[in-house]
């Protein structure tokens, strides 16, 4: 999303109209596509353009039929699935910004309004992400539909339709030391999470995360300290070379991950590990109406009576917890 600049030509009233037009044009050009490939796209599955249903539900199918040894002549079974609703999401209007312009304002005030508008173009991009991050911040206390437990939990049910026993539990909340051993613990935890249709008691376990790498695992942090320490683990040779002074920083790792600085997290001593190959995203979001700007222009009744123009940028948006094993909250130990 481009940052607009105050027009150099025209009087101040005309410059306001031109700025609003500049802010609106990319919204109309990109529509919902402005989120494709962004951080929001990584974090959330976003349903767009559908206002026909107030609340939309998302479910999960657990395949309990395909993995078994049977006699050669035994009849095959089909579609032996268990289903469960694991997310439901409504939406509200999301106001990005509103600007009021009066023809009779002092020129100094008009110039301040114009100057403040230059950075408004990014708000439709960032604010839906802020809503998702706020939802995640509450994830240790707010429950999810997946299994009725807090979204970040040390013992989620692998099969949400199954019993709450050790064989059917896995965490998406854990604490590690920020070193190679801690990183390997995190990786092993994610790799060892079985598919819901597995049968651990029969040693029939399918591991959907067995091939983690920098393309399939993404780390989000807002802390430069965490970013730097993980960089040492992921690429010690290029960061620290082989100098004697830094020999203790030479570390090995099983697999890398893509590191992302996300300042909007405003996180404490933790980071998120996002499994990009998960069958569902960690958050389900809805945006029935793409960001747009409504405007009352010069010549309208309000302009004639009160000498006033209005510009309002908005969308519709909602978000809810979805699949907990798509995102891990990783706290840093002492």
State pLDDT tens for residues 32-60.
999 999 999 999 999 999 998 999 999 99
Q: Which two tokens stand for residue 277?
A: 């190959």
The Cα angle at residue 158 between residues 153 and 161, in degrees rounded to 5: 110
Report d(CA 224, CA 230) in Å as an integer: 10
User: What does DSSP assign to residue 153?
Assistant: -
Q: Return the closest-CA partner of residue 20 out of 123, 127, 128, 120.
A: 120
Helix axes 180-191, 224-234, angle to 10 degrees: 80
pLDDT for residue 241 is more than 60: no
Q: Return the closest-CA partner of residue 34 out of 101, 167, 108, 123.
A: 123
What is the structure's pLDDT at 246?
45
Range 108-121 average pLDDT: 91
What is the structure's pLDDT at 193?
94
Is the separation of the CB atoms in 141 and 149 below 8 Å?
Answer: no
Is the separation of the CB atoms in 239 and 292 below 8 Å?
Answer: no
Is the separation of the CB atoms in 321 and 145 below 8 Å?
Answer: yes
> How does pLDDT run across 53-83, given as a tens digit for each residue?
999 999 998 876 556 778 999 887 776 678 8
pLDDT for residue 146 is more than 50: yes
Report d(CA 292, CA 298) in Å as an integer: 19
> How does pLDDT run across 123-133, given as a tens digit for each residue?
999 999 999 99
Is the separation of the CB atoms in 129 and 306 below 8 Å?
Answer: no
pTM above 0.85, yes or no: yes
pLDDT for residue 321 is more than 90: yes
Grouping H, G, I as helix, E, B as strand and the rest as coil, residue 231 is helix
Q: Return the closest-CA partner of residue 90 out of 286, 315, 322, 314.
A: 286
Task: Supply the DSSP string of 51-75, one letter for each residue.
Answer: -S-SSEEEEEEEE-SSS----TTSP
What residues have CB less than 8 Å from 179, skipping those under 6 apart? 229, 233, 251
pLDDT for residue 223 is more than 50: yes
pLDDT for residue 229 is more than 70: yes
Going 181 to 184 to 189 to 192, the CA torsion angle's sign is negative
Helix H or strand E encompassing 17: helix 12-30
> How does pLDDT run across 147-204, given as a tens digit for each residue?
999 999 999 999 999 899 998 999 999 999 998 889 889 999 999 999 888 877 777 7
Report d(CA 255, CA 261) in Å as an integer: 19
Report d(CA 326, CA 190) in Å as an integer: 10
Report d(CA 179, CA 229) in Å as an integer: 8
Q: How is the chain split into domains, by residue range?
A: 12-332
User: What does DSSP assign to residue 227?
Assistant: H
What residues have CB less than 8 Å from 72, skipping those under 6 apart? none
Q: How far is CA 33 from CA 46, 60, 66, in A?
A: 11, 26, 38
> How does pLDDT run across 259-282, given as a tens digit for each residue?
899 999 988 899 999 999 999 999
Report d(CA 275, CA 242) in Å as an integer: 32
What residues have CB less than 8 Å from 97, skipping those under 6 apart? 120, 123, 312, 313
């Amino acid at each position: 999303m481009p940052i607009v600049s105050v027009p150099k030509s025209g009087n101040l009233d005309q410059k306001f109209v031109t700025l609003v037009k500049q802010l609106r044009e990319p919204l109309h050009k990109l529509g919902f596509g402005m989120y494709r490939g962004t951080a929001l796209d990584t974090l959330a599955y976003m349903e767009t353009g559908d206002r026909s249903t107030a609340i939309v539900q998302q479910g999960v199918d657990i395949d309990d039929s395909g993995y078994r040894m049977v006699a050669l002549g035994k009849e095959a079974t089909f579609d032996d699935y268990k289903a469960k609703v694991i997310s439901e999401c409504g939406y509200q209007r999301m106001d990005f910004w509103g600007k009021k312009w009066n023809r009779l304002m002092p020129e100094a005030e008009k110039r301040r309004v114009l100057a403040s508008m230059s950075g408004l173009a990014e708000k439709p991009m960032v604010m839906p992400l802020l809503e998702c991050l706020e939802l995640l911040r509450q994830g240790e206390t707010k429950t999810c539909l997946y299994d009725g437990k807090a979204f970040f939990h040390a013992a989620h049910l692998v099969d949400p339709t199954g019993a709450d026993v050790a064989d059917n539990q896995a965490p998406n909340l854990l604490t590690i030391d920020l070193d190679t051993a801690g990183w390997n613990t995190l990786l092993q935890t994610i790799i060892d999470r079985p598919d819901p249709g597995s049968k651990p008691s029969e040693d029939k376990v399918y591991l959907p995360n067995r091939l983690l790498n920098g393309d399939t695992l993404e780390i989000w942090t807002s802390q430069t300290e965490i970013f730097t320490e993980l960089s040492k683990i992921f690429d010690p040779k290029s960061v620290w070379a082989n100098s004697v002074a830094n020999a203790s920083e030479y570390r090995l790792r099983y697999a890398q991950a893509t590191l992302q600085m996300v300042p909007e997290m405003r996180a404490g001593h933790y980071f998120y590990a996002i499994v990009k190959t998960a069958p569902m995203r960690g958050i389900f979001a809805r945006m029935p109406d793409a960001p747009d700007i409504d405007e009352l222009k010069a010549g309208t009744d309000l302009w004639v009576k009160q000498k006033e123009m209005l510009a309002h940028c908005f969308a519709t948006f909602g978000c809810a917890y979805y699949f907990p094993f798509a995102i891990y909250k990783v706290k840093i130990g002492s």
